Structure formats: C-alpha cells, structure tokens
C-alpha cells in the first residue's frame, strides 16, 4: 500500500516484501545466514565426536569430559543473553559479524589446547561467539522474508545447524584416524574466518531495524531497491508498529503482560529440546561404544541424529499454513516416542540407524522451528531479544542434558534406561507449547 506523507511517496516495508518475488539479493542473505548457522552447528557439536580421542590422548575418565562439553554451552548462554539486547539497540549486522569472528578465533585456539583446563576456557569463548551469532542470523533472515514464507524460509536457513552438527561427525570419523582430533577443530576455525571476511560486504542491516530506528531514507532505499522496483517511493514505515522504537528495551517488551506467558513457555520448550539434543550429541558416541559398537561405527551412527534436522523445511511449510504451536507440539511428542525406541534397539544396528535418523528428524525439526515461531510471536522492537533469550535460556538445557547423562552413566544405568529418561523432556516441551497456545487464545 502506498500513501502520501509530507508530500513524499511512502510504503510499508513488510507489505513491499510481501508483494515481491523472493529476489536474488534475499537469496544472498539466506545463503550467508545459512552458512553462519551451519558453522554454528559444526563448532557447537564437534566436541562430542572428539571425546574418544581426547580420552585416549590425555588419559581422561569420561566424567572429566562433562566440563568440556558444558563449557561451550555456558558460553552459548552468555552470548545469547547479551547479543539480543545489543542487536535490538545497535542492529543485527555488526554483532553477527563480530560473533562469527570470535568463535572462529576461539576454535583456532581450541585446536592448540594442551590440557583439559585450556580446552575448557577456549570452548567457553567459542560458545560466546556461537551464542551471539545464532539469534542475529535468525532475526536478520526473518526480517527479510515475506509473511507467507517466513516460517518456511527461516526453518530452511536453520537446517544449517543440524547439517553442520552432522558434518562434524562425518569429518571426525574421516579426519581423526589420519590427522588427529586437532585437525577437525582447525576446519571449524578456518571456515568461519573466511565467512567473517565475506559477511561485511554481502550482508545488509535489517531493513525493519533501519526503518524502526529512522535511518536516512536514502540508505533504506539503497537496500530495498535491490529487492524490487520502488518507483517514486521515498519514505518507508512499519504498518505493524510504526517507526517508534520503544526506549524501554526488548526485555521489558517480552515480559510485558501480552508476551510474558508465551516467553516463558518458549523458553521451557527450547530448554527441554536442548536437554535431549546435547545429551545425545555429546554422549551418544561413547554410549554406543560402551554398548559394543566400534568407535568409528558409533561416531557415524551418532552423526545421523543431528542430520535428521533437514526436515525443518517441511515443518516451516506446515507452520505457514496451520497453527504453528500445534505443529511443533506434535513434533516434540513424536520425538519422545522415537527417543524411547532408540533405547530398545541397541543390538539391531541397521534398524537402530533408521530410528536414530528418524528421532533426529523429529527433534531437530521441532527444535529448529522454535526460532521461527519466536520470530512470528515478537514485534520488531523485541524480536532479537525474544529470540536470543529463548536461545540463551534454552542453552542451559544443553548443560543440564550433558550433566544429566554424565550422572546417569556414573550410576551404571543401562543404555535403554538413559534413553527412556531422555524421552520425558520431549513431552514437557510439547506441553509448554500447548499452554502458550491456550494462553494466546484466551487473550484474543
């Protein structure tokens, strides 16, 4: 819709995006954000695939690895909680580029670690960068999407995370026997270093942020003209919130009466999903090995779990057409069933691989859909904070999951009992989303 404001032609930014075909420039933004999330997944999950060679080289007990697994997750939490408010205040682009550079350098130092203490420190710093990168990539991508395709495109971009996590497993199975565990971490540093060089030139600032912060129309027009023809449009606005940007900040917005219950339920669902994800990504290779599989087979089977996240595109399509809370809640319920089933199939290798992949598809698809759900739920003024704090608080679930399995393993519980325990968080995540939906209906 065009209107007349101070004798200038004006246009609502979101309506303009909705009316255009998805342009090559938007695809470039998609590819760059996808690459960020891919490398985020790689560097987040890779340490789990290196557990066995670390134990052999440094003579560790497996329980001594719990702090190593948790260090990056603590960093992820701190990075996410900090990055969201900064992005809602200063923009999405600069924090994103800085975050990629940080986790690239920290991964490089991790590859040089000489003992567990050094590795813990470097993995924590890696986590700071990873935690800051993810929410900004999700927010930036979602703010360049048409409404009708937002969940599909955001989920498709988020598929990079499980693909990166799986890639770490496959590379570790190939590279560790030949060049050792440090070589895998070097790959996880050089790739994001190259990406950090490419991002400043190829990635724009969020157009919604620019409009909301009343940036000069000339700068906004320069970006918008790369998406579609603007004709005589000179002035841009946001019909779903105007150009006023609340000074109270994103945190107060996401805890306002309208959003508070949904905020807590999103946190709870993301928390429970990551309890399962990191428990299995970090510990499944060791658990499978202790159950009789060879180290290489255990690594490959475990890598099938995050690989299943490519199904997020299908969930995005469903979310754009049906109630997204119900879609994701169903995914978490099915996840609980699949996780329980894995524990019953340890001796059936072929079937086990299929079920591990299916469980990964269900969990990672549901988990990967939550940032898109949060992007739909929050307005521009609090979107980065809402997504980042969901990711940050949720990361604590990853820490809990890693420590939980360490404790269960120390109690000498069997593989099937541990997997049964990990199915429960899936049911809790599903219940949280149903509560969010019921509360939203009550507010209407």
What is the per-residue pLDDT for 109?
94
* Residue found by looking up tokens 């789990």 in the block: 48
Helix, strand, coil shares, percent, the chain, to 5 = 80, 5, 20
What is the per-residue pLDDT for 248?
52
Sheet containing 233-237: order of strands: 2-5, 8-12, 233-237
Residue 358 in contact with residue 237, Cβ under 8 Å? no
List Cα–Cα distances, 254 to 7, 244, 386, in angstroms.
36, 17, 6
**Could you tell me the two tokens for 406?**
């360490």
The CA radius of gyration of the chain, in Å to the nearest whole number, is 22
What is the per-residue pLDDT for 293?
65
DSSP state of 16: H
Residue 308 in contact with residue 161, Cβ under 8 Å? no
Residue 52 in contact with residue 173, Cβ under 8 Å? no
List the alpha helices (DSSP H) in 91-215: 93-110, 116-142, 150-158, 160-179, 181-202, 207-212
Query: Can you tell me the distance from the alpha carbon of 224 to that of 226, in angstroms, rounded to the nearest whole number?
Result: 5
Q: What is the pTM of this model?
A: 0.75
Sign of the four-CA dihedral 131, 400, 191, 117: positive
Query: Can you tell me the distance from the alpha carbon of 329 to that of 331, in angstroms, rounded to the nearest whole number?
Result: 5
- Mean pLDDT, 10 residues at a time, over the chain (444 residues)? 51 85 93 93 84 84 78 86 82 92 94 90 93 88 88 84 83 87 91 93 90 86 86 75 51 85 94 88 73 70 68 76 91 92 75 82 86 84 84 84 81 82 94 91 64
**Could you tell me the two tokens for 394?**
């949720």
Element (H, E) at 208: helix 207-212
SS3 440: helix
What is the per-residue pLDDT for 413?
78
What is the per-residue pLDDT for 311?
66
Domains in the chain, CATH or no CATH each: 2-443 (1.20.1250.20)
What is the per-residue pLDDT for 265?
96
Determine whether 399 is exposed, middle or buried from the number of CB atoms within 10 Å of its CB (0-12, 13-18, 19+).
Answer: buried
Element (H, E) at 369: helix 349-377
């Amino acid at each position: 819709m065009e209107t007349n404001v101070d004798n200038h032609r004006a246009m609502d930014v979101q309506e303009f995006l909705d009316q255009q075909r998805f342009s090559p420039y938007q695809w470039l933004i998609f590819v760059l954000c996808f690459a960020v999330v891919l490398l985020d997944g790689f560097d987040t999950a890779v340490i789990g695939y290196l557990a066995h060679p670390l134990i052999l080289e440094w003579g560790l007990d497996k329980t001594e690895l719990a702090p190593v697994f948790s260090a990056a997750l603590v960093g992820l939490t701190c990075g996410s909680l900090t990055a969201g408010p900064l992005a809602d205040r200063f923009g999405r682009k600069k924090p994103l580029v800085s975050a990629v550079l940080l986790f690239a350098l920290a991964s490089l130092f991790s590859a040089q670690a000489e003992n567990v203490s050094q590795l813990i420190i470097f993995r924590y710093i890696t986590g700071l960068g990873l935690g800051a990168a993810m929410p900004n990539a999700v927010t930036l991508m979602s703010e360049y999407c048409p409404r009708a395709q937002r969940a599909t495109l955001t989920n498709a971009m988020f598929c990079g995370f499980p693909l990166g996590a799986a890639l770490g497993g496959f590379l570790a199975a190939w590279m560790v026997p030949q060049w050792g565990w440090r070589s895998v971490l070097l790959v996880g540093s050089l790739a994001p270093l190259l990406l950090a060089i490419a991002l400043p030139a190829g990635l724009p600032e969020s157009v919604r942020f620019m409009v909301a912060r009343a940036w000069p129309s000339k700068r906004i027009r320069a970006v918008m003209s790369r998406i579609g023809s603007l004709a005589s449009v000179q002035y841009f606005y946001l019909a779903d919130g105007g150009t006023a940007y609340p000074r109270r900040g994103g945190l107060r917005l996401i805890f306002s009466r309208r959003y508070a219950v949904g905020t807590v339920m999103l946190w709870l669902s993301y928390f429970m999903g990551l309890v399962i994800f990191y428990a299995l990504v970090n510990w499944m290779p060791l658990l499978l090995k202790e159950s009789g599989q060879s180290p290489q087979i255990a690594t490959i089977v475990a890598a099938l779990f995050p690989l299943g996240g490519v199904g997020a595109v299908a969930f995005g399509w469903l979310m754009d057409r049906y109630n997204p809370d119900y879609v994701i809640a169903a995914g978490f319920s099915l996840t609980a069933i699949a996780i329980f089933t894995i524990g019953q199939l340890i001796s059936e290798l072929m079937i086990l691989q299929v079920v591990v992949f299916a469980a990964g598809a269900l969990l990672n698809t549901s988990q990967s859909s939550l940032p898109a759900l949060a992007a739909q739920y929050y307005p521009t003024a609090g979107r980065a904070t809402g997504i980042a704090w969901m990711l940050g608080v949720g990361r604590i679930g990853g820490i809990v999951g890693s420590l939980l399995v360490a404790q269960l393993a120390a109690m000498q519980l069997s593989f099937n009992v541990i997997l049964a325990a990990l199915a429960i968080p899936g049911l809790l995540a599903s219940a949280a989303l149903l509560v969010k939906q019921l509360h939203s209906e009550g507010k209407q």
